[in-house]
Amino acid sequence: MKSRLPVVGVAVILAVLVGALAWTLSAPIAATITATVIGGIVGAILGQALMWSRASVGRSARIEHALQHRLEGMRSIADKRHEILTRAIRETRDRAANAEREAQRAAGVLPQMRESAKHTEQTLRDMRISINDKVDDQVVLLEDYMQLMRLVPMPLPMPRPGTWAASEDLLLWLAGYVVEHRPSLVVDLGSGQSSVWMAGAMRVAGYDGRVIGVDHDAHFAEATRVLAQRQGVDTWLSVIHAPLVTEDIGGRRVTWYDQGALADLTGIDLLCIDGPPGQGVAQARWPALLALRDRLSVGATVVLDDMIRRDEQEIADDWLCRYPEFTVERFAFEKGAAVLSLPPA
């Protein structure tokens, strides 16, 4: 109802104005009424047009405002998307640059990696070969030990040869030498299992030989005596405790066994040298042959253990230069050994 008031107002105003004008001009009443009616109609039309115009302007304003608001929203969304896109492009470029740097670094490192892989492969191959060789060596030593036990049976278990004892292959060789050559007197410098095994070999061979074990340490000497008693070979084995002393032998000042404790040793058929221990002394076993050469029997044999060490190699070379009458045979035992032999009579 309120929206139609402008239309009625305009119609009334225009009708009154037209009627007044007709009246002023002294128009007939009929004409005046007609003019008034026509003025009202025209006023109504104008009022309706005015109302439509105002309504159209209002709608246009509202539409414009809505469009402006939507446009601002779209601009805000567009700005945010632009910001996100810009950041994504920047991050992508950074990642591409990092990837390129990593690729360049990898290209530089790749040859080194290949070389390292090749070296590692070779190292693993060498380790595998070394391990296989060590396993084979241990199998051979075990076989030697089994042969030793068959050749020289013991009533009780023997201690397994360790770091300081002669290796299984040398023990088997010594026991076989005793059984085959039946030496009357064996001197073992560095008493221990080797002394007991050779005494056991004399028992197996069934003859009255003698093994003399020599040790610088009273505790080790007693341990060898006890082991011989337990195995029942003490009849063939005696142990001498000969402390280490400093004296002159062969023109050198050396530390070796007290020769006074070895004064009764003569007619030595087999001399085994596996002591004294070096303990920081260079060529600690060098004095052995110089001190005992004149006590060897004709055709005697000298066995020098631990020939894998440089000291023992130099000792053997020096002995051969001093005593050219000896012949030598070197054995590739676990620790190496040199066997020096005097010619028979």
Mean pLDDT of 322-328: 97
Position 138 confidence tier, pLDDT thresholds 50, 70, 90: low
Strand 268-273 versus strand 337-341 pairing type: unpaired
269-288 average pLDDT score: 92
Give the type of residue at 305. Answer: D
pLDDT at residue number 318: 97
For residues 78, 84, 89, 91, the Cα torsion angle rounded to the nearest 10 degrees is 170
Pairing state between β 268-273 and 210-215: unpaired
Q: For residues 288 and 267, give the distance between their C-alpha atoms in angstroms, rounded to a whole number.
A: 15
Inter-residue contact 236 to 202 (CB < 8 Å)? yes
pLDDT per position as a tens digit, 173-212:
999 999 999 999 999 999 999 999 999 999 999 999 999 9
CATH of 152-341, one of 3.90.120.10, 3.40.50.1240, 3.40.50.920, 3.40.50.150: 3.40.50.150
Contact 304, 285 (CB under 8 A): yes
For 36-93, the pLDDT digits (tens) are 666 567 656 766 666 665 665 566 567 567 657 766 776 777 678 778 878 878 888 8
- Tell me the pLDDT tens digit for each residue of 204-254: 999 999 999 999 999 999 999 999 999 999 999 999 999 999 999 999 999
The better pLDDT of the pair 270, 119 is held by 270
pTM: 0.64
Sorted by where each begins, the domain ranges of the chain are: 2-78, 152-341
